[in-house]
Amino acid sequence: MESIKDLRAQIDKIDEEILRLLNERARIAKIIGEAKRKEGVHLHSPEREREVLERVIRLNKELYSEQIPSKAVAHIFREIMSMCLSLERNGGIRVAYLGPKATFTHQAALEYFGLSANYVMVNTIRDVFVEVETDRVDYGVVPVENTTEGVVNYTLDMFLEYNTKIVGEVVIPIKLNLLSTRLDLEGIRKVYSHGHALAQCRNWLEKNLPHATLIETESTAKACEIVLEQDDAAAIASEAAAYTYHLNILAQNIQDGSNNYTRFLVIGKREVKRTGKDKTSLLFAVKHQAGALYRALESFYVHGINLTKIESRPSKKKAWDYVFFADIEGHVEDEPVRKALSMLEDRTQMVKVLGSYPRALFEEG
Ligand SMILES: O=C(O)C(=O)C[C@]1(C(=O)O)C=C[C@@H](O)C=C1
């Protein structure tokens, strides 16, 4: 077998080659950036990024039998494109997320835009929408549903108030941990976290901390900030939050469901072109009439469109009046989707398309 020294010398050579190729790639990306500026097109191209990611994942399978896991390949190329984009556009794109630092939304934003984007931390989901609406940022990231706890109503309601579009989605696994300045469970009287996170750990809390008072906070990271100042409390948050806030991890993976994922939406102001693996989100309202919802949904059935989700929310205009949020497979540029939406318009009181966007690259995080 070759010596470690010789093997490391080989790695050094490969690293030089990788570095040379990265610089060459960045040089070409900068030229593309100039060309796009001249043509007046957006520097950030989510459609192209998706194409790049899908291509390298496919090549990695075909040529190298996935020696490197697909997710790792996706991470590496995500970072490469994030860096190239920040060179094309001085300072990169601006992305608002529901903070403070190390929330799961922060993690989702990093996963989608990479480390070279500029992140703006805001305190509420509404603020994310406001930042996008007032052009202070290019994009925003908000949570929309969790596999254990269901939908984040607050986010859906924001689409009734703002005209922001959905331009992408990202799903990440949610692993929850009990964090504290203490070293063990003894003496923990209060547990702080976001309502969803507390609910996702119900069984564990009942078994291990049955007498603790559960206190809701705006986010899991906010809970960490509070717990830092208290010596009889713990927070439920991510592992990243433990490092960010220098808290001890007293218990790991305390969520009740082992398949715990959260879906986040990327919101912005532009429309994303068809990629062939898209989703469309919309909202609609129907009259209080027998069969009204049935007739509305028939539009999707007739045109062979798969409905991946439907939720009802109070319209907030009148008591017992509802709007429906739906996700369907396909893009508004697809003929069957176009036809289904036109039929839906004829059969409902109101239809608002919230956006067509590429489906999450990894639907189970
Ligand atoms: O192909 C482009 O349009 C580029 O600007 C290059 C590139 C990349 O690094 O591959 C960078 C940013 C865009 O969002 C998409 C792709």
CATH number at residue 309: 3.30.70.260
Encode 88-109: b = buried (16+ Cβ within 10 Å), e = exposed. Answer: bbeebbbbbbbbbebbbbbbbb
The pLDDT of residue 365 is: 65
Q: Which of 116, 109, 115 is nearest to 132 (CA)?
A: 109
- Domain match, 287 and 333 both: yes
Count of the separate structural domains present in the chain: 4
Is the dihedral angle over the CA atoms 110, 115, 119, 121 positive or is it negative?
Answer: positive
Domain CATH code at residue 32:
1.20.59.10
- Domain match, 115 and 161 both: yes
Alpha helices in the chain (DSSP H): 4-39, 46-64, 70-88, 104-113, 125-133, 153-161, 195-200, 202-208, 220-227, 239-244, 292-302, 335-347
Last residue of a domain, one of 242, 267, 292: 267
- Domain match, 21 and 51 both: yes
What is the three-class DSSP state of 58?
helix
Torsion of CA 267, 274, 43, 37, to 10 degrees: -130
Write out the two tokens for 23.
């610089």
Residue 352: strand pairing partners:
283
- Domain match, 36 and 71 both: yes
Q: For residue 228, what are the domain limits?
A: 179-251
Low-confidence ranges of the chain (pLDDT < 70): 365
Q: Which helix (H) or strand (E) holds 217?
A: strand 213-217
- Domain match, 19 and 44 both: yes
148 in active site: no
- Domain match, 333 and 288 both: yes
CA 44–ligand 1 middle distance (angstroms): 7
CA 48–ligand 1 middle distance (angstroms): 6
- For residues 63 and 119, is the Cβ–Cβ distance under 8 A? no
In a domain, 365, yes or no: no
The pLDDT of residue 142 is: 96
Question: What's the rounded Cα separation, in Å, for the pair 49 and 237?
Answer: 31
- Domain match, 98 and 119 both: yes
In a domain, 41, yes or no: yes
Last residue of a domain, one of 45, 60, 88: 88
Residue 172: strand pairing partners:
262
- Domain match, 69 and 112 both: no
**Model-wide pTM > 0.80:** yes
In a domain, 364, yes or no: no
Domain CATH code at residue 110:
3.40.190.10
Give how far Cα 281 sits from Cα of 144, 321, 358, Å.
12, 20, 11
Residue among 21, 81, 93, 116 whose CB has most ligand 1 atoms within 8 A, to mutate: 81
Residue 272 DSSP label: P
CA 289–ligand 1 middle distance (angstroms): 49
- How many Cα atoms within 13 Å fall on the side-chain side of residue 248? 11
Cα angle 190-194-197, degrees, rounded to a multiple of 5: 90
- Number of residues written out for the chain: 365
- Domain match, 83 and 99 both: no
The pLDDT of residue 1 is: 87
Question: What's the rounded Cα separation, in Å, for the pair 265 and 279?
Answer: 12
Write out the two tokens for 155.
């986010």
In a domain, 363, yes or no: no
Cα angle 304-310-316, degrees, rounded to a multiple of 5: 135
Ligand 1 is surrounded, with C-beta below 6 A, by 29, 32-33, 44-45, 48-49, 52, 81, 84-85, 88
- For residues 250 and 185, is the Cβ–Cβ distance under 8 A? yes
Last residue of a domain, one of 195, 220, 251: 251
In a domain, 256, yes or no: no
- Domain match, 122 and 166 both: yes
Ligand 1, atom 8, residue with closest C-alpha: 81
CA 165–ligand 1 middle distance (angstroms): 21
- Domain match, 124 and 75 both: no
Ligand 1 atom closest to the Cα of residue 81 is 9
Question: What's the rounded Cα separation, in Å, for the pair 96 and 123?
Answer: 10
Give how far Cα 216 sits from Cα of 75, 199, 333, Å.
33, 10, 42
Ligand 1, atom 3, residue with closest C-alpha: 45
CB atoms < 10 A from the CB of 55, how many? 11
Ligand 1 atom closest to the Cα of residue 46 is 14
- Domain match, 16 and 32 both: yes
In a domain, 211, yes or no: yes
262 in active site: yes
Contacts of 108 (CB under 8 A, 6+ apart): 97, 141, 143, 170, 172, 262, 264
